[in-house]
């Protein structure tokens, strides 16, 4: 359902962030994109919804090629792709409910969005989603009153209310403690399974990725160095992806109570 063909991004500074990436994802697959800082993970997912303009190559979402779409076509295509950010990107002074509903802005008309009048069906769906992620009681709270984990749950609801085909998730747990990180990863993966949703999850924490996904793609210097199941991520492979630096430092193993434990041999 998602196909990247020879995707290249060279920033104006000359940084070659992506070097001819080829990648194919079937319907409903959840994929973790790992790699050291600067490998090109954020650039890759942002080239898919064109928050970053690719330099060359193609992005196919089902039978639609995205890189040449003009404004209105791009707007329609972006509805199919929900995004979840590391820093949540909530509007602080708005309520939880308003933040979730803002995920519908790609659908409601211009005047409606200006006056923030959403159809009742959207409000009902927002309540259902908040209930699903355990935040029903928080609907009227302001975003800035929430904890990090709660804010990320709001970010998840905002992405899902778009009813996307594909989730693009950029370091969803980077600002969270180990226990909350694990809960958020589990929640994202469960929601994808429930809805048959595909997702690309950029994640620095290799152990967390291995726990929850069927497929891991490792990026290094803008190229794919590994593509396979989590069990195939051997120390040698990790050294290829992360270099000779101490990649074990990127592994945080946690037990069921979220306490960090020593990485097993
Ligand atoms: N806006 C930008 N302008 C110039 N270079 C950038 C920009 N964003 C990212 N880069 C460069 O592109 C490369 C990949 O960055 P990024 O996609 O952010 O990697 P990651 O998300 O894996 O840390 C890095 O070398 C980074 O410095
Ligand atoms: Mg990044």
Q: Which domains does the chain have, with CATH numbers?
A: 2-80+164-261 (3.40.50.300)
Q: φ and ψ at 261, to 5 degrees?
A: -125, 165
Residue nearest to atom 16 of ligand 1 (CA): 40
Percent of the chain with pLDDT strictly greater than 70: 89
Distance of CA 40 from the midpoint of ligand 1 (Å): 6
Q: What is the pLDDT of residue 175?
A: 87
4 vs 242: CA distance, rounded Å? 23
pLDDT of residue 5: 98
Tell me, what's the pLDDT at 261?
A: 56
The answer to whether residues 200 and 167 touch, using CB atoms and an 8 Å cutoff, is yes
The CA 44 to ligand 2 mean position distance, Å, reads 9
pLDDT at 16 over 70: yes
Q: What is d(CA 255, CA 13) in angstroms, rounded to the nearest whole number? A: 43
Q: How far is the CA of 173 from the centre of ligand 2 (A)?
A: 12
pLDDT at 110 over 80: no
| Distance of alpha carbon 264 from alpha carbon 253, whole angstroms | 8
Provide the pLDDT for residue 83: 93
Asked if the model's pLDDT at residue 13 lies above 50, the reply is yes
Centre of ligand 2 to C-alpha 170, Å, is 7
pLDDT of residue 111 exceeding 80: no
- Phi, psi angles (nearest 5°) of residue 21: -80, 125
Neighbours of ion ligand 2 (CB under 5 A): 41-42
pLDDT of 248 > 70? The answer is: no
Task: For residues 75-96, give the mean pLDDT.
Answer: 90
Non-local CB neighbours of 11 within 8 Å, separated by 6+ positions: 17
Judge whether 238 and 210 are in contact, CB under 8 Å: no
**What is the residue-wise DSSP string for 42-86?**
HHHHHHHTTSS--SEEEEEETTEE-TT--HHHHHHHHHTEEEE-T
State mean pLDDT over 168-182: 93
**Which residue bears the tokens 């290094």?**
220
C-beta atoms surrounding 245 within 10 Å: 10
152 DSSP assignment: H
User: Which residues form ligand 1's pocket by a CB distance below 6 Å?
Assistant: 11, 13, 15, 17, 35, 37-43
Q: Is the pLDDT of residue 137 over 90?
A: yes
Q: Which ligand is nearest to the CA of 174?
A: 2
Single pTM value for the model: 0.90
Q: What is the pLDDT of residue 265?
A: 34
The pLDDT, as a whole number, for residue 263 is 43
Mean pLDDT of 187-205: 95
For residue 179, count other CB atoms closer than 10 A to its CB. 16
User: Residue 17 CA: which ligand is closest?
Assistant: 1
Q: How confident is the model at residue 112 (pLDDT cuts 50, 70, 90)?
A: low
- For ligand 1, atom 8, the nearest C-alpha belongs to 43
Counting Cβ atoms within 10 Å, is residue 178 exposed (0-12), middle (13-18) or buried (19+)?
A: buried
Q: Whose CA is nearest to atom 4 of ligand 1?
A: 11
pLDDT in tens, 25-69: 999 999 999 999 999 999 999 999 999 999 999 999 999 999 999
Nearest CA to ligand 1 atom 13: 17
For CA atoms 29, 160, 149, 175, the dihedral sign is: positive
pLDDT of residue 173: 92
4: left (phi over 0), alpha (psi -120 to 50) or beta: beta
Q: Closest by alpha carbon to 136, among 148, 124, 122? A: 124
Average pLDDT over residues 208-231: 95
Q: Distance (Å, rounded) from C-alpha 40 to C-alpha 17?
A: 5
- The per-residue pLDDT for 91 is 87
Ligand located closest to 53 CA:
1
Is residue 109 predicted with pLDDT exceeding 70? no
CA of 42 relative to ligand 1 center, distance in Å: 7
Q: What are the distances in angstroms from CA 42 to CA 34, 140, 146?
A: 10, 32, 26
User: Is residue 126 scored above 80 in pLDDT?
Assistant: yes
């Amino acid at each position: 359902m998602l196909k990247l063909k020879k995707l290249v991004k060279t920033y104006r500074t000359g940084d070659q962030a992506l070097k001819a990436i080829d990648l194919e994802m079937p319907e409903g697959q959840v994929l973790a994109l790992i790699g050291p800082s600067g490998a090109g993970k954020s650039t890759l997912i942002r080239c898919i919804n064109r928050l970053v303009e690719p330099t060359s190559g193609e992005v196919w979402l089902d039978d639609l090629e995205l890189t040449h779409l003009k404004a209105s076509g791009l707007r329609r295509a972006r509805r199919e792709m929900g995004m979840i950010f590391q820093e949540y990107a909530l509007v602080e002074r708005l309520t939880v409910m308003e933040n979730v509903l803002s995920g519908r802005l790609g659908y409601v008309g211009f005047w409606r969005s200006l006056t923030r009048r959403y159809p009742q069906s959207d409000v009902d769906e927002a309540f259902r989603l908040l209930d699903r992620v355990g935040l029903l009681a928080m609907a009227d709270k302001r975003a800035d009153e929430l904890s990090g984990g709660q804010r990320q749950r709001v970010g998840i609801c905002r992405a899902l209310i778009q009813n996307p085909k594909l989730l693009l998730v950029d370091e969803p747990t980077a600002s969270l403690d180990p226990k909350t990180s694990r809960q958020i990863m589990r929640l994202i993966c469960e929601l994808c399974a429930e809805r048959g949703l595909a997702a690309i999850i950029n994640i620095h924490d290799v152990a967390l990725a291995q726990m929850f996904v069927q497929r891991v793609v490792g990026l290094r210097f803008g190229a794919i160095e590994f593509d396979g199941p989590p069990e195939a991520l051997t120390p040698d492979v990790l050294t290829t992806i992360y270099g000779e630096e101490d990649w074990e430092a990127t592994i945080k193993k946690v037990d069921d109570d979220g306490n960090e434990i020593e990485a097993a041999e």
